[in-house]
């Protein structure tokens, strides 16, 4: 398949799933669960919207920056799930840009955006659901993505893994 088309399909699938389908699922979850959680998550409107803006700024920033780094430095794309490459896999391990702060800046940024949406909805159910799903996502990343990177990049990845935290950039490994 043509590389440009392959990249386009990968980005289309990724945006469709992670920035359309999952957010709409959170909106639906909020609508269904609102009777069970009738209280506001954060009653101070100004604080809630300030947090939404901060989370979106950093979330979209990390997600976009990591996509650019994968394409420019890694010479590949981000869409790879359950060991199926939807877009071309990176040919070079990316350890610069957002990848010097966390090994998974795209997932980190995307979850920040999801939490921003939960706050924007003022939805305790959405935020609770995300808090439960976060460790599941981290386990998936550890099992599938990190295993593949170790296989593809060997000692270079293992050294990178020792230096850079897996998900949260502010909890560096000692």
What are the tens digits of pLDDT across the range 148-159?
899 999 999 999
Residue-wise pLDDT for 81-112, tens only, equals: 555 566 677 889 999 999 999 999 999 999 99
Q: What is the pLDDT of residue 83?
A: 58
Is the CB of residue 12 less than 8 Å from the CB of residue 79?
Answer: no
More confident residue, 58 or 171: 58
Residue 133 pLDDT: 96
Ordered by where they begin, the domains of the chain are 3-163 (1.20.120.1630)
pTM, rounded to two decimals: 0.88
- Using an 8 Å Cβ cutoff, are 67 and 78 in contact? yes
Are the beta carbons of 103 and 156 closer than 8 angstroms? Answer: no
First-to-last CA distance in the chain? 43
Q: Per residue in 19-42, pLDDT tens?
A: 899 999 999 999 999 889 888 888
pLDDT at 166 over 80: yes
Mean pLDDT across the chain, nearest whole number? 88
Q: How many helices (H) and strands (E) does the chain have?
A: 6, 2
């Amino acid at each position: 398949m043509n590389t440009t088309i392959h990249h386009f399909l990968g980005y289309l699938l990724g945006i469709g799933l992670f920035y359309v389908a999952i957010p709409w699922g959170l909106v639906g979850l909020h609508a269904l669960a609102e009777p069970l959680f009738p209280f506001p998550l954060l009653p101070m409107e100004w604080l809630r919207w300030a947090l939404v803006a901060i989370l979106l700024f950093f979330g979209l920033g990390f997600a976009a920056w990591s996509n650019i780094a994968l394409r420019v430095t890694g010479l590949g794309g981000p869409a790879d799930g359950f060991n199926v490459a939807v877009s071309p896999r990176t040919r070079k391990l990316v350890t610069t840009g957002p990848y010097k702060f966390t090994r998974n800046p795209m997932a980190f940024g995307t979850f920040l955006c999801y939490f921003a949406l939960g706050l924007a909805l003022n939805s305790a159910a959405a935020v609770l659901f995300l808090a439960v799903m976060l460790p599941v996502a981290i386990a998936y990343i550890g099992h599938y993505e990190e295993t593949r990177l170790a296989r593809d990049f060997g000692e270079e990845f293992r050294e990178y893994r020792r230096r850079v935290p897996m998900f949260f950039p502010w909890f560096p490994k000692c």
